Structure 1
Amino acid sequence: MAIKIKSVSKSAAKYVERGSQAGDEFREGVSDTTDQAERAIAAEPAYVAGIQDSIARGARVAGLQKSGTDKWKRKTLAVGPRRLVEGIRAAKSDYADGVSEFFSVIAALDLPPRGPKGSPENFERSRIVGDALHAKKIEG
């Protein structure tokens, strides 16, 4: 006996209808979560296994080939610009918190004098900044 299912168009309409009303449930789910980082860390073995399985099956490449550039552009242009702006506005204090320690590292450096454009002295200045920032990054 064949399985009776809804048409694709009805299913898609229901998906949009129900998804459009899910904001409160989404908010509640996030609010009720006590420690997402702890739970994610505890799930690390499952995450690693899933990534390794995906790599072994070539799933990422297959998915990219299936969706293609046209779908990526269509979806990105449909929602991306708005989400980008909203995300940047919402992240202002997080950005400041995240970069402040790196700005402090740069401000504390004692760089040698600048040389002529393209000179070894200028590359040395860049190396000093790069080394200091890298050390801060891996220090955590």
Structure 2
Amino acid sequence: MAAIRPLDVIAKKWTQVTPLRAEDYKFGIENPKKNWEEEAVKANNTYVKAVTAAAQAGRYAGGIKRAGLKKWQDRALKKGPGRFSEGVMIAGPDYEEGFAPFHAEIERVDLPPKLPKGDPANINRVAVIAKALHEKKLALRK
């Protein structure tokens, strides 16, 4: 069986620790690894296929281009940092409820043996978890 901490311990830590990350949230907006506007426009086709009929009509990329990186950063910085910690604390029970089926799935997984550090076969342990979690996600969406 895969080892994982109890669900309530994970949820409590998330609720206590994540609100302290507001500065990290702000930093990420101010210093994106890639240009938000460019990357979001490049992702338009995937978004169109996966998300909404509005995106299928091309409105997703159009809205991004009209806003641009600076407007996105400005609005996110004005609204986000102050709401982040409170939102995480409010969402604690939702986080626990939403993660519960995946936590239970991880507990059920039989992992292949752990091999010496650096052994390429160790990725099989990740693959087993990834497959189980993906199947759980699909099952929950039925």
Q: Per the shorter chain, which TM-score range?
A: 0.5 to 0.7
Letter in 2 for 1:92: G
The aligned counterpart of 1:135 is: 135
Letter in 1 for 2:72: W
Point out the more displaced range, 102-111 or 118-127.
118-127
For residues 136 and 72 of structure 1, do their structure 2 counterparts lie closer, same or farther at Cα, with a shift above 3 Å needed?
same
Gaps of 5+ in 2: 1-51
For residues 121 and 132 of structure 1, do their structure 2 counterparts lie closer, same or farther at Cα, with a shift above 3 Å needed?
same
How big is the alpha-carbon RMSD for the aligned residues of Structure 1 and Structure 2? 2.0
Paired positions, count: 90
Gaps of 5+ in 1: 1-47
Following superposition, the deviation at residue 49 of structure 1 comes to 5.1
Letter in 2 for 1:132: A
Instruction: Work out which of the two has the higher radius of gyration on C-alpha atoms and give 1 or 2.
Output: 1
Distance of 2:62 and 2:100 partners within structure 1: 41
* Contact kept in structure 2, 1:112 and 1:121, CA below 8 Å: no
Letter in 1 for 2:93: S
* Contact kept in structure 1, 2:54 and 2:60, CA below 8 Å: no
Identity %: 37
Between 1 and 2, higher relative CO (CA 8 Å, sep ≥ 6) is seen in 2
The aligned counterpart of 1:114 is: 114
Letter in 2 for 1:98: G
- The TM-score, its normalising length taken from structure 2, stands at 0.56
